[in-house]
């Protein structure tokens, strides 16, 4: 399976740890964890020499505010800050079913609150849906609502490209331009890029809008 490490885009380049890389240690399918999530920042800093973490939301399932605050404190103490909170499940912001789209907006709001407590500067998520104008316009409409919530919390919203609606870089950038907010960007990854006709061009179109890039090894 891919073992992603995230590269933050500002110069100088900052290498950070994606928790999927150490999932077997933190959340193994069998047996007890080798590393507690509270110890992960110190582990990333001392074992790998990395200065940041990109956490997936499934590792925080059921965590109360005090738990998130302790993770942030451990990250600050270790000099390995939490930077991006990644929502694992696709969020149907473009779905024609209003209830599903509203539920996705509510989920984004919860993830934003979690990211704020952890000290992250961004959240990342996928938007499923068909690759047509109707889905694109619904995505834009609901992203504008999400942007208002993100702006108040000073959190960036990063679109992770995937199949369908966000498969083509130009469609992703079109969504960003239509939302017209500096809080909306991209979170491209090498694994998805490797499936494109020209991976290099794919990444060149998305990375100008990226706060971070997930560099998976295949």
Q: Answer yes or no: are the C-beta atoms of 102 and 109 closer than 8 Å.
A: no
Per-residue pLDDT tens over the stretch 198-213: 999 999 999 999 988 8
Output phi, psi for 34, to 5 deg.
Answer: -80, -35
Structure confidence by residue, pLDDT tens digits, 9-56: 445 678 899 999 999 999 998 989 999 999 999 999 999 999 999 999
pLDDT at 11: 54
CA 201 to chain centre: 22
pLDDT tens, position by position, 86-137: 999 999 999 999 999 999 999 999 999 999 999 999 999 999 999 999 999 9
Question: Binning pLDDT at 50, 70 and 90, where does residue 72 land?
Answer: very high
Angle, nearest 10°, between helix axes 98-118 and 65-78? 50
8 pLDDT more than 70: no
How many Å apart are CA 150 and CA 98, to the nearest integer? 21
Whether the model pTM is above 0.75: yes
Q: Centre a 10 Å sphere on the Cβ of residue 10 and count the other Cβ atoms it contains.
A: 8
């Amino acid at each position: 399976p891919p073992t992603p490490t995230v590269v933050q885009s500002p110069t100088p380049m900052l290498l950070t740890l994606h928790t999927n890389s150490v999932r077997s240690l933190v959340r193994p399918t069998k047996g007890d964890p080798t590393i507690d999530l509270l110890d992960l920042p110190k582990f990333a800093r001392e074992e790998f020499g990395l200065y940041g973490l990109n956490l997936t939301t499934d590792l925080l399932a059921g965590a109360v505010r005090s738990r998130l605050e302790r993770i942030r404190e451990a990250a600050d103490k270790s000099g390995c800050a939490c930077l991006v909170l990644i929502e694992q499940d696709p969020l149907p912001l473009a779905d024609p079913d209003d209830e599903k789209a509203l539920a996705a907006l509510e989920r984004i709001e919860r993830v934003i609150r979690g990211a704020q407590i952890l000290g992250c500067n961004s959240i990342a998520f996928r938007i499923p849906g068909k690759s047509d104008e109707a889905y694109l316009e619904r995505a834009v409409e609901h992203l504008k609502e999400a942007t208002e919530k993100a702006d108040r919390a000073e959190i960036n919203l990063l679109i992770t490209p995937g199949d369908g609606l966000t498969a083509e870089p130009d469609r992703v950038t079109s969504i960003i331009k239509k939302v017209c907010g500096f809080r909306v960007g991209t979170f491209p990854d090498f694994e998805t890029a490797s499936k494109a006709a020209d991976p290099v061009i794919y990444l060149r179109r998305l990375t100008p809008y990226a706060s971070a890039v997930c560099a998976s090894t295949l």
